[in-house]
Amino acid sequence: MAEKKKSIRPLGERVLVQRLNEEEKTKGGIIIPDSAKEKPQEGKVIAIGNGRYEDGKLIPLQVKAGEKILFSKYSGNEIKIDGEEYLIMKEDEILGVLEA
C-alpha cells in the first residue's frame, strides 16, 4: 500500500517556501563545497495562508503560490516534510517578489 504524501496549509499570514538551489560554481568556474555555501535567500512560494485580520476584515496576502521571492537570511522556521526542506515565514519577512 502506497504511503500518502503529506501536505501542509499555512495559517493566517504565513507562507510555505521552498528554497531555490544556489549555484554550484562561481562565475570563474570554481566549485563551491557544501560546507562553504550560504543558504540561498531566494525561494518559491508553495502555499499561502488565508491572510490577516485588520479591524475585523480579512486582508488577503500579496504573494501567490508559484511566485519566486527574496527573503532575509534568517527568515522563517525550517521544517521537513517527506524529506524535503521548507520554510514557514510570515508575509512581512518577504522582501520582494522576483519578476522575470
Domain count, the chain: 1
Q: What are phi and psi of 35, to 5 degrees?
A: -65, -25
Residue 6: inside a domain, yes or no?
A: no
Q: How far apart are alpha carbons 90 and 81 in whole angstroms?
A: 19
| Dihedral Cα 54, 58, 62, 68, nearest 10 deg | 120
Q: How confident is the model at residue 27 (pLDDT cuts 50, 70, 90)?
A: low
Residue 66: inside a domain, yes or no?
A: yes
pLDDT digits (tens, 9 = 90+) for 31-54: 655 554 556 689 999 999 999 999
**8 A C-beta contact, residue 83 and residue 71:** no
- The whole model's pTM is what? 0.77
Q: 39: domain range?
A: 14-98
> For the domain that residue 29 is a member of, what is the CATH number?
2.30.33.40
Residue 43: inside a domain, yes or no?
A: yes
Residues contacting residue 57 through CB under 8 Å, at least 6 positions apart = none
